[in-house]
């Protein structure tokens, strides 16, 4: 087949099939019948002389040729969308594709949950992937185009990225009610906080969090007795032990409210964390990307 007669709409169908691995779900996202999507897939198989997607134990799986084509097709669709964005305008209700967000687990409940609800309401055909990342991993994924947007604490985002300050957030202590630290008279100082064993949440598995970086800057360290990769076990561990956690205020307040824990302010020498919205320069002018960035900002400001 000549390139001039190839129907580019077939690539859009193929891209959605690659993402969904299901003719039925692809049809739902494209607003087409299952038979129409199957017909498009049949044409693609004939043109490319390859089955592309075959049945597996859990939906469709990609053939070796399809795996080779997957990233190429995705890039073609993105470049096409970018070229047409200014002339066609952007409509959240009709937009499709996939948005990949990276954020630390501490933002999942207070920020990402309401954001995902908003995106689902305003852009129902947009597929969203939320990836739990630490700051170094997030920058790597942005560089390799495996992430569209990263949210979190970044000391100095590299200049190859765009960065926008979202908010500042203080750290607080989180512990069980009737914890021995609550018996302290007067303001609780840093020495008292460091005298107790700590529970650390570290997605990187290195027993390090933002608080540890701040402590290292003033020549201090804590006793990280327990380290977990997410906040799922934190309420139970804090209620059943004398360990304490030092977390950002938003997630600490959610856990204190929902899990019958309590929070304590940190000493003044422990300042707030700057949380940034970071994205690669390649997506700076993309209208869909701009709209999603605006939704992230609004979610953070609520």
**CATH number of 73's domain:** 1.10.10.10
Is the distance from CB of 210 to CB of 251 less than 8 angstroms?
A: no
Share of the chain above pLDDT 70, in %: 96
For residues 77 and 262, the model is more confident at 262
Residue 46 included in any domain: yes
Is residue 227 pLDDT above 60, yes or no? yes
Bridge partners, 165 (sequence order): 276
Residue 93 included in any domain: no
49 pLDDT band, cuts 50/70/90, is very high
Dist. CA 151–CA 274, nearest whole Å = 11
Residue 161 included in any domain: yes
89 pLDDT band, cuts 50/70/90, is low
The whole-model pTM stands at 0.68
Provide the token pair at 160.
């190859």
Residues 157 and 186 in one domain: no
Sheet order of strands, 273-280 included: 127-132, 98-103, 149-153, 273-280, 161-169
Dist. CA 292–CA 274, nearest whole Å = 20
Is the distance from CB of 242 to CB of 151 less than 8 angstroms?
A: no
Residues 257 and 221 in one domain: yes
- Section 270-283 average pLDDT: 90
Dist. CA 35–CA 228, nearest whole Å = 47
Is residue 1 pLDDT above 70, yes or no? no
Q: What is the CATH number of the domain that holds 284?
A: 3.40.190.10
- Section 54-75 average pLDDT: 87
Residues 251 and 218 in one domain: yes
Instruction: Tell me the C-alpha to C-alpha distance, in Å, between residue 83 and each of 72, 88, 89.
Output: 17, 9, 11
Query: 């490319």: which residue's tokens?
Result: 48
Residues 222 and 264 in one domain: yes
Task: Give tens-digit pLDDT for 120-165.
Answer: 999 999 999 999 998 889 999 998 889 999 999 987 777 778 898 8
Residues spanned by the domain of 114: 98-166+274-301
Question: Count of domains in the chain?
Answer: 3
Residues 257 and 279 in one domain: no
- Section 236-250 average pLDDT: 95
The pLDDT value given to residue 84: 63
Mean pLDDT of the chain, nearest integer? 89
CA dihedral defined by 168, 209, 177, 235, rounded to 10 degrees? 110
Dist. CA 85–CA 77, nearest whole Å = 12
Dist. CA 78–CA 97, nearest whole Å = 9
Residue 80 included in any domain: yes
2 pLDDT band, cuts 50/70/90, is very low
Residues 184 and 267 in one domain: yes
């Amino acid at each position: 087949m000549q390139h001039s007669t190839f129907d580019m709409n077939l690539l859009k169908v193929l891209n959605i099939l690659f993402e969904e691995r299901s003719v039925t779900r692809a049809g739902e996202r494209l607003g087409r019948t299952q038979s129409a999507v199957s017909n498009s897939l049949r044409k693609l198989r004939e043109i490319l002389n390859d089955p592309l997607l075959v049945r597996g134990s859990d939906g469709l799986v990609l053939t070796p040729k399809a795996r080779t084509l997957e990233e190429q097709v995705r890039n073609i669709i993105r470049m096409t969308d970018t070229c047409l964005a200014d002339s066609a305008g952007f409509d959240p209700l009709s937009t499709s594709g996939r948005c990949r967000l990276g954020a630390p687990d501490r933002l999942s409940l207070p920020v990402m949950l309401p954001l995902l609800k908003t995106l689902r309401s305003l852009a129902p055909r947009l597929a969203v992937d939320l990836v739990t990342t630490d700051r170094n991993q997030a920058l790597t994924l942005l560089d390799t185009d495996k992430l569209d947007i990263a949210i979190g604490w970044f000391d100095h985002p590299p200049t190859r990225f765009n960065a926008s300050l979202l908010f500042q957030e203080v750290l607080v202590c989180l512990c069980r009610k009737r914890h021995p630290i609550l018996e302290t008279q007067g303001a609780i100082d840093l020495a008292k906080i460091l005298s107790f064993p700590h529970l650390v949440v570290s997605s990187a598995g290195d027993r390090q969090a933002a608080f540890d970086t701040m402590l290292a800057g003033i020549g201090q360290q804590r006793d990280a007795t327990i380290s977990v990769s997410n906040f799922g076990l934190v309420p139970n561990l804090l209620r059943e032990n004398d360990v304490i956690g030092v977390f950002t205020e938003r997630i600490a307040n959610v856990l204190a409210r929902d899990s019958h824990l309590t929070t304590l302010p940190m000493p003044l020498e422990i300042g707030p964390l700057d949380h940034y919205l970071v994205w690669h320069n390649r997506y700076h002018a993309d209208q869909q990307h701009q709209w999603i960035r605006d939704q992230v900002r609004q979610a953070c400001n609520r």
